[in-house]
Amino acid sequence: MTRVWTILLIPLVAVSSFAAEVPIPAPPQVGARSFLLMDFASNRVLAEQAPDQPVEPASLTKLMTAYAVFHALDEGQISLSDQVRVSEKAWRTPGSRMFIEVGTEVGVEDLIRGMIIQSGNDASVALAEHVAGSEETFVALMNHHAEMLGMTGSHFQNSTGLPGDNHVMTARDVVTLAQAIIAEFPEYYGYYSELEYTYNGIRQHNRNSLLWRDDSVDGLKTGHTDAAGYCLVTSAERDGMRLMAVVLGTQSPESRADATQALLNYGFRFFETHRLYTDGAEITTARVWKGESESVQLGVTDDLFITIPRGQYDSLAAEMDLESELVAPLEKERLVGTVRVSLNGDSLAELPLVVLEDVGESGFFERLKDEITLWLQ
C-alpha cells in the first residue's frame, strides 16, 4: 500500500519577474540543415530541427579526438608534458594546420591547443598517433567512446573531420559529446575559450567568433568543409544557467555565428533552470516502525534539474508516493517511493525516493509495542 503526499518544492528560490501569462514564442528560424538547443543541467531540448539526421561534421570531429585524448590523460596513459615526434603523415595532412614540422618534437599540451584553437589537422593526427600508435587504431577508440556515450547517429573514419564515405555525426550527438567534455573534463575545458595561440612563430585566432561577441560563451568548436557547410557547437552560461547549441550546414562563418546567437538568446530569454533536489539531501522524513529511531530521512540519489518557462516556478507541484508502513531494518538507498514533479498538470520528472540512512531494529519490547500498534491500526 502507498500513500500520496503533496510536498513543497525545495529549496525555495526567488522567481523571475517575467510575466507567467505571456506565451513562449516559437524558436527562431535559422538557416541550418539541422540544429539543437539544450539545457546542460536538465537535458531539456528547447529548440531543434532534424537533430537526428547524420551529416558531415567537418572539424566538429575534433571534439571526439579531444575527448579520447582527455581520457588518455585522465587514465595516465599520456601526460601533457610528453614530447611527440611529428610523423610525415601528420605533417602532410591537408586542411587547417598549426604548422608543426616533420621530425620535430612537440608537447602534448601544445598539440591540444593547436587542435582546439587553431583546428590543426596536423595536430589531431599527431595526437592520435601518440595515444594509439596509429590514426586507424585511434579511430576505433573514437568509435568506442561514441558507443559508450550513446551517440547512435555518429561514425568516425579519421581524427580530423576530413570528408569520408561514412564519417557522420548528428546534432544531438554533437551536443551529447560537448556535454560530456564539460562534465567529465572541466580541467581541460578552458582550452576552448582561449582566443588565440601562437606556435612556430605563427599566431592564429580561435575561429569561434562568439567568444569575442558574447561574454557568456566559453566554447566549443567550429567546423567547415565544402560538403558540410559551416558548423558550430557552442556552450554559454548566464546567471548559473548553461545552454548548449549546435548548428550544422550553414552558409558562412557569419551565418553560423548569427544562428547560434539567436538560439542562445531565445533560450536564456524565455526559460530558466532550477535545481529542485540535491543528491543525498533530505526531502522529507517518515515514521519508522520497530526501529532504533522513530523516523528516517528520505531523499534522492541524483540531483534533479528542471528547465521551465520563465516566471512559472510558483506553478510547479510535487507529489510523493510512499510506502504506507516503513518497518526496520532499513538500509541506506532502499527504494521506498517516488517523487513526481509537474507544471500546470504536465509531468516534468519522476525519480525514486530512497532512505538516506541505515535504521536498525529496536529492542524486543519496542518492537512488540509497535507490532501491537500496527495491528490495532
How far, CA to CA in Å, does 321 sit from each of 18, 70, 140, 170? 33, 42, 46, 38
Q: Give the contacts of 237 (CB within 8 A, at least 6 positions apart).
A: 216, 218, 243
Is residue 154 among the annotated active site residues?
no
Give the whole-angstrom CA distance, residue 54 versus residue 376: 64
Please give the full DSSP string across 30-56, using - where no structure is assigned. -S-SEEEEEETTT--EEEEESTT--B-
124 labelled catalytic? no
Cis amide bond preceding 352, omega within 30: no
Tell me the CA distances in angstroms from 109 to 27, 103, 106, 279, one per residue in order: 39, 18, 9, 35
Q: Alpha carbon of 86 to those of 34, 78, 113, 137, 308: distances in Å?
A: 37, 16, 16, 17, 50
Place of cell 547549441: 245
Cα-based torsion angle of the residue sequence 169, 173, 179, 185 in order, rounded to the nearest 10 degrees: -50
Q: 119, 124, 235, 362: which one is catalytic? A: 119
CA distance 112 to 146: 20
Torsion from C-alpha of 47, 52, 58, 60, nearest 10 degrees? 60
Extract the C-alpha cell encoding 147. Answer: 558507443
Q: Are 194 and 221 in contact (CB under 8 A)?
A: no
Rg (CA), the chain: 26
> Which of the residues 34, 59, 87, 235 is marked catalytic?
59
β-partners of residue 304 are: 277
Residue type, 65: T
- Choice among 62, 154, 221, 362 that is catalytic: 62
CB 277 within 8 Å of CB 299: yes
- Does 119 qualify as catalytic in the annotation? yes
Catalytic positions, written as ranges: 59, 62, 119
